[in-house]
Structure 1
């Protein structure tokens, strides 16, 4: 019998060979935006570390870790196997994350990276004890869905962010997480949080000036041509709304457990001459009887009758 997940070592847990094999919800639009915001900050040499509150199985953490600069620190805070201190939070943990363990997170993360991030195992309210104020340039909040906890996470992250830092709120509009929506928009109306953009699952905001970010973001969207967007106004301020269905995803971190054979096959398939080397496949033309049956099925009856009469006259000749 297999040992419970919590008792297995990281070495014996399944090893993902691509990011899509890691459990979690991290869609194309948000991968593109994470990548864009981090690259935009790097292009402007903006200093700061990375922070994630709530890691689940590590999907977004793996993505963030690949964008970490050598001099930066990446901190991940999650309860993992620790019990929550209040009954409502414990109930949510049992319902939503019954299989979540720190070992599973570490196994997934180490499948893509040589070193783990700094891990704070406990309530997200503890993160301020481990991260310096004004030291974070990008923070992803995806911990508790309960209003009082999310509200506290937002206030804590506000102190931890740099002047131009970005905060991302997950599940800001999900029907099963009304507390997240309430805390997010309350921060906009009461705490000075300024929206930059939104996707179907995440809210992106800053306590700095959002207009230069929005201008640069819109230029980037226009240059790609595969991202739908619109600009709405909330309380007189612009808000970019976007969707990336069918858009090309950014480069994912490569798994350390991808087999050599799979790598060779993928490289061969992606090589410039790969398509030219394949013989052309000739599809047989449909039989005349099949064409006639299709014509009979799809053409109007008056046209079908005319074709039948014409065919009979041709046979008599």
Structure 2
């Protein structure tokens, strides 16, 4: 097990410091779904397929209650099960290591989740059926793998459980899109809501949770919201508006208050001596210049100019 003692690596002080793609809107939605389950007394384990550097896993881990398990499955740069998956892993995650994930996770938690360094195909044998209340799928982008991960989630979720599918509409992940909408149209998955990156769904009745979600979202000024109907499904679409902030999250054990910035006062502008010829004349000198004959006035001025 890795420890967070390395001194040559920058350790995260806040969740935003952890590398990864987990925007504020999805942090809000994860938190809302998990807290709703907890308030309703729904119990079950947590599962994440594909962890990258641990950003979403860190948030999920905060919601694991006593008696619940949290399992994370990722290749972590290890051997992929087939050629296509190996090519994808080499292209997208060549810098990923299990040690980096563990360092980040242990910055926020006292103990690691159960970590499976393996392809997600091992999950049906490693996680008991009908044991999970929340499953986050963010592993392979290949159709066959995502299709199988969705099938595993169907078998693992308790009634009322939530599955989250990442990259369901990104231009570089058409395989995820095909597998996701195939599950909606042919495999009984019911969308609860859509964010820019993720589809949140259930194999139960989505209407009660949708109504509560809509009530929460309509009360916020930082989330754009629209509702559409398609193929018999109500699609609640959400998007973050400018300036949206992630919900509060505890800082890590490595957080340090930023040093106060001392602002030096602006230096006083340098003064330039005014030549004697440009200095304002006193009132007495002005009167004298007006009353004396010009020849005397010129003589006086020359004397004053030559005075040391």
Question: What TM-score, normalized by structure 1, do the two folds share?
Answer: 0.78
Q: Quote how far apart the aligned CAs of 1:109 are.
A: 0.3
Alpha carbons 1:63, 1:253 under 8 Å: kept: no
For residues 78 and 121 of structure 2, what CA distance do their matches in structure 1 show? Answer: 14
Moved >4 Å (runs of 4+): none
What is the aligned partner in structure 1 of residue 29 from structure 2?
33
Q: Secondary structure at the match of 1:11?
A: coil
Pick aligned residue for 1:81 from 77, 81, 84: 77
Q: Secondary structure at the match of 2:182?
A: helix
Alpha carbons 2:4, 2:107 under 8 Å: kept: no
Q: Secondary structure at the match of 1:172?
A: coil
What is the aligned partner in structure 2 of residue 279 from structure 1?
none
For residues 85 and 238 of structure 1, what CA distance do their matches in structure 2 show? Answer: 37
What is the aligned partner in structure 1 of residue 287 from structure 2?
none
Alpha carbons 1:66, 1:253 under 8 Å: kept: no
For residues 69 and 211 of structure 1, what CA distance do their matches in structure 2 show? Answer: 26
Where do residues 115-264 of structure 1 align in structure 2 (5 Å cutoff)? 115-245=111-241, 246-259=243-256, 261-262=257-258
1:11 aligns with 2:5: yes
What is the aligned partner in structure 2 of residue 59 from structure 1?
55
Alpha carbons 2:23, 2:246 under 8 Å: kept: no
Which of these two proteins has the greater Rg computed from alpha carbons?
2
CA RMSD of aligned residues (A): 1.5
Task: Provide, for residues 139-171 of structure 1, a one-character-per-residue CA deviation record: whole Å limited to 9, x for no partner.
Answer: 100000000000000001110001111000000
Q: Quote how far apart the aligned CAs of 1:225 are.
A: 3.1
For residues 27 and 83 of structure 1, what CA distance do their matches in structure 2 show? Answer: 29
What is the aligned partner in structure 2 of residue 303 from structure 1?
none
Question: What TM-score, normalized by structure 2, do the two folds share?
Answer: 0.80
For residues 253 and 187 of structure 1, what CA distance do their matches in structure 2 show? Answer: 36
What is the aligned partner in structure 2 of residue 43 from structure 1?
39
Q: Secondary structure at the match of 1:115?
A: coil
Alpha carbons 1:26, 1:60 under 8 Å: kept: yes
What is the aligned partner in structure 1 of residue 279 from structure 2?
none
For residues 57 and 179 of structure 1, what CA distance do their matches in structure 2 show? Answer: 23
What is the aligned partner in structure 1 of residue 295 from structure 2?
none
What is the aligned partner in structure 1 of residue 16 from structure 2?
20
For residues 167 and 47 of structure 1, what CA distance do their matches in structure 2 show? Answer: 15
Alpha carbons 2:77, 2:89 under 8 Å: kept: no
Q: Quote how far apart the aligned CAs of 1:10 are.
A: 5.1
Alpha carbons 1:62, 1:253 under 8 Å: kept: no
For residues 88 and 21 of structure 1, what CA distance do their matches in structure 2 show? Answer: 31
Alpha carbons 2:45, 2:69 under 8 Å: kept: yes
Q: Secondary structure at the match of 2:110?
A: coil
For residues 144 and 155 of structure 2, what CA distance do their matches in structure 1 show? Answer: 17
For residues 62 and 212 of structure 2, what CA distance do their matches in structure 1 show? Answer: 23
For residues 121 and 165 of structure 2, what CA distance do their matches in structure 1 show? Answer: 16
Q: Quote how far apart the aligned CAs of 1:70 are.
A: 2.3
Q: Quote how far apart the aligned CAs of 1:224 are.
A: 2.6
For residues 221 and 172 of structure 2, what CA distance do their matches in structure 1 show? Answer: 33
For residues 84 and 5 of structure 2, what CA distance do their matches in structure 1 show? Answer: 33
